Each structure stands twice: as structure tokens, then as C-alpha cells.
């Protein structure tokens, strides 16, 4: 069983209930699997039912406890329902990883249609804010604090030419993370930001881009390898866990050294 102890020590997230938006593939799925391996109970959201069922089957086959909730972070009612269904199934909410997000058509800013702005900000920024809102309300209802990790990006600080609206959404999430950490720290609610670098198996880093662009990106990774979703999952695990009980309002870069320069 996944909830067994490792060498007599407590599992990092044993019996903790964690909600992950966009938890059916990529970074979200890798985090859900890892949390279940460490004794946590996981609720995952996503728009695609088949992806959700596949993730549930994988986690349950290994002995983990998981719930899939179909929903879209662009719809507030879906967010509110995901929190309610998590609590209905597992009895409480201890942590959340607000991972759901989308890329956006890039190019010179003056050449991008306003509809692109509306869509990417609705999902990436409004979706994170509303997720935090309903998660925090549940933490307050329970008492005893809680932990939120929002998914940002190195592009929130280091933009690339023609990156469009995406870096601005990630910078906005950084701001909301700090605001929430400041507003609710006295209640024992911690809010932090995970900032992934180039994560190829999650589609982050232009794996379909021209070879010279990929070479440029790789030159910025000082560990000398592409990142993987499990690298991000480990960082999220730490921030959600009691090992990070004195950490709030911070940005954890998991980027292979991308931010050094």
C-alpha cells in the first residue's frame, strides 16, 4: 500500500488531503501520483474525462486514494464544486496545488488579438485567484490552517522575445501568491509559488520549436539535462508538507539553474 511508512518514519504527506487542478496529465498528474505514493489522499480536476479516469486507475492500481472531478477553472461554479466534492469524499482539505493553466499564442504584443488576452488571463490568473478563494474559505471553515502552492514559471521573471501574454499571467500569479500569504499567514495558511523551468514531458520548453531555439534554451540549463514533471512534483510535495511549515510567500524555482543568469 502507498500509505506504508518508510523505514519507520512518517510519510511526507500521510493522510493529508490535497486538491490538484489540472491533475490529469503532465506536472499535475506526476504530482498526484507522488503525493499518493507518500500517503496523501488526492482529488484531481480536469476537463477531459478519459485522462481523469486513466490517472485514477493508475493511482488506485498502486494502492492510492484518489478522486477525479471533471471541471474547468475558467468556471467558478466548477472550482467551488471541486472543493466541496473533495471534502465530501475525504472529510477535509489540507492542501492544494493550483496547477491548471494554458499556454498562449505568442508574437509581438501589438499583433496579438485581444481575445487571446481574455482567454489566457481567464484561465491562468482568474482561475488561480478563484481556486485560492474557495480553498481558503474551506481552510477557514475547518480551522487549523492549510497550504496552497500556485504554479508559476521562470518566465514570470525571465521573458523571451515574442512570449506574448503568458509571462504576464505568471507574474500576476506571483503577486496574488504574495498577497494571499500576507493576508492569511496569521491564520496558519501558507501560500507559495512553484516556478518550473523547461519541463519537456509537460510541454514546457518548446520541444516542437526549431533546433536552434532548443539549443539556446538548453544552454541556459546549468545542470545539463531537460527537466521532468517529477522534478516539479518533488518541489510541490515539499511546499505542501510540514517540512515547509515556516515557508510562505516564497518562490521555489525548479529550473536546473535557468534563473542563475
Report DSSP letters for 30-61, one per residue: HHHHHHHHTT-EEEEEES-HHHHHHHHHHHHH
Catalytic: which of 166, 176, 253, 258?
166
Q: How many CA atoms lie within 13 A of 36 on its CB side?
A: 26
Buried b (16+ CB within 10 A) or exposed e, 47-72: beeebbeebbeebeeeebbbbbbebb
At residue 208, what are phi and psi to the nearest 5 degrees?
A: -100, 5
Walk across the sheet containing 65-70 and list its strands. Answer: 65-70, 41-46, 17-21, 95-98, 146-151, 189-196, 251-254
CA-to-CA separations, 89 to 93, 94, 146, in angstroms, rounded? 10, 13, 18
Q: How far apart are CA 130 and CA 256, in angstroms?
A: 31
Check if 166 is active-site.
yes
- The count of C-alpha atoms lying within 13 angstroms of the C-alpha of 224, restricted to the half-sphere facing its C-beta, is 0
Burial of 116 (0-12, 13-18, 19+ CB in 10 A): middle
Positions marked active-site = 166
Amino acid at each position: 500500500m502507498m500509505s506504508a511508512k518508510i523505514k519507520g518514519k512518517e510519510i511526507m504527506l500521510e493522510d493529508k488531503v490535497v486538491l490538484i487542478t489540472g491533475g490529469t496529465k503532465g506536472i499535475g498528474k506526476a504530482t498526484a501520483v507522488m503525493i499518493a505514493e507518500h500517503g496523501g489522499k488526492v482529488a484531481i480536476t480536469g476537463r477531459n474525462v478519459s485522462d481523469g479516469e486513466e490517472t485514477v486507475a493508475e493511482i488506485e492500481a498502486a494502492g492510492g486514494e484518489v478522486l477525479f472531478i471533471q471541471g474547468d477553472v475558467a468556471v467558478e461554479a466548477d472550482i467551488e464544486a471541486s472543493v466541496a466534492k473533495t471534502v465530501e469524499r475525504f472529510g477535509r482539505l489540507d492542501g492544494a496545488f493550483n496547477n491548471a493553466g494554458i499556454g498562449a499564442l505568442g508574437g509581438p504584443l501589438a499583433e496579438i488579438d485581444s481575445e487571446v488576452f481574455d482567454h489566457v488571463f481567464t484561465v491562468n490568473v482568474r482561475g488561480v485567484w478563484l481556486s485560492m478563494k474557495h480553498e481558503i474559505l474551506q481552510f477557514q471553515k475547518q480551522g487549523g490552517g492549510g497550504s496552497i502552492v500556485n504554479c508559476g514559471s521562470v518566465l514570470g521573471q525571465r521573458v523571451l522575445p515574442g512570449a506574448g501574454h503568458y509571462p504576464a499571467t505568471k507574474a500576476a500569479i506571483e503577486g496574488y501568491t504574495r498577497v494571499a500569504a500576507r493576508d492569511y499567514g496569521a491564520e496558519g495558511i501558507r501560500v507559495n509559488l512553484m516556478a518550473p523551468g523547461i519541463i519537456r514531458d509537460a510541454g514546457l520548453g518548446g520541444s516542437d520549436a526549431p533546433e536552434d531555439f532548443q539549443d539556446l534554451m538548453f544552454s541556459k540549463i546549468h545542470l545539463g539535462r531537460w527537466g521532468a514533471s517529477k522534478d516539479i512534483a518533488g518541489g510541490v510535495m515539499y511546499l505542501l508538507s510540514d517540512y515547509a511549515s515556516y515557508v510562505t510567500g516564497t518562490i521555489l524555482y525548479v529550473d536546473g539553474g535557468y534563473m542563475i543568469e
